[in-house]
Amino acid sequence: MGASSVLNVTFYGVRGSTPCSSDANRRYGGNTSCVVIESPGQDPIVLDLGTGLRFFGMTVPCDQPFRGTALVSHLHWDHVQGVPFFSPMLCEGAQLNVYGPRQEDCTLTEAVKAFIQPPYFPVGIEELAGEFNFFEVENDVFQVGDATVTAAPIPHRGPTVGYRIESQGVVIVYISDHQQPGPEATEVSAEVRALCADADLLIHDAQYDPEEYLLRSDWGHCTSDYAVEVAGQSGVNRLALFHHDPSHDDDRVDEMLMQARQHKAGSGLQEILAASEGLTLSFESDPLR
């Protein structure tokens, strides 16, 4: 048997739409989407580049140039606002490989450069000291260090992908934004089920309750109940509710978590939790699994 090691998944930003830090949401946090996967001997894999990215940057040692990979689900503001505030990329020799969905009218590189430049930001991304490399994905499988990453399109507003990361026998799936197909829907596409199949952890959109979904049914998101359906139908072990609505304070997120746990009866899910800033989930990995 090969020696096991620990793979850590840490949440630095868990909100959707806009940052919303306040006393009322202190426990869950107010930064937008950013999750980091780390394991010994491997460069970090960053899931989305929202405002939580700044706080990840504060944990990065400054004694050597940063190396890492970002898997970006889509280019809405709440998923990319942290890019120019990621302090490791202000240092010479730093490198971030950015994977993101193929755009409709321009390249991924052109799209990112378009919003990190005057008048939207004081400098252009090319003026940051570190090197950014951009790679477009749609239905793709590629290697990041020892991890095999699968990207697949996810229903949302605009080009959006979800990611499956398989590393040393541990499977993490990230679907930050997912359009629910209708009120009280239970159907989950075969493509989404394949992406999520038998995952150790699914990080999934759970922005609305049923009443909110009815008011915003075409905004590209889903209810916590639908997140449970996706996880249950895909044989997922643990579900992390994610992309909390900025109007939901800590108590409201608690209520939605309780509702999701009630809904999971018969789903086969072992655990449902609500993602919070600073939370780290650890998994024993085994390269021979």
Nearest to 175 by CA among 220, 224, 242: 242
- For residue 177, pLDDT over 60 is answered with yes
Q: What is the pLDDT of residue 288?
A: 61
46-60, 139-153, 177-191, 274-288: segment of lowest average pLDDT:
274-288
Using 50, 70 and 90 to split pLDDT, how confident is the model at 140?
A: very high
- For residue 27 the two structure tokens come to 């426990």
Domain ranges of the chain: 5-285
Mean pLDDT of the 4-12 span? 92
Enter the DSSP assignment of 148.
E
Q: How far apart are the first and last CA of the chain?
A: 9
> CA distances (Å), 43 to each of 129, 154, 197, in order?
19, 26, 25
Taking only the tens place, the pLDDT of each residue in 81-97 is 999 999 999 999 999 99
Second CATH level (architecture) for the domain 5-285: 4-Layer Sandwich (3.60)
Tell me the whole-structure pTM to 2 decimals.
0.96
What pLDDT score was predicted for residue 172? Answer: 98
**Per-residue pLDDT tens over the stretch 236-289:** 999 999 999 999 999 999 999 999 999 887 778 999 999 999 999 999 976 665
pLDDT of residue 1: 42
**Mean pLDDT of all residues in the chain?**
95
Three-state DSSP state, 141 = strand
Q: Considering only residues 119 and 62, tell me which one the structure prediction assigns the higher pLDDT.
A: 119
pLDDT band, very low/low/confident/very high, at 184 (cuts 50, 70, 90)? confident
What are the percentages of helix, strand and coil residues in the chain, rounded to 5? 25, 30, 45
What lies within 8 Å, CB to CB, of 23 at 6+ separation is none
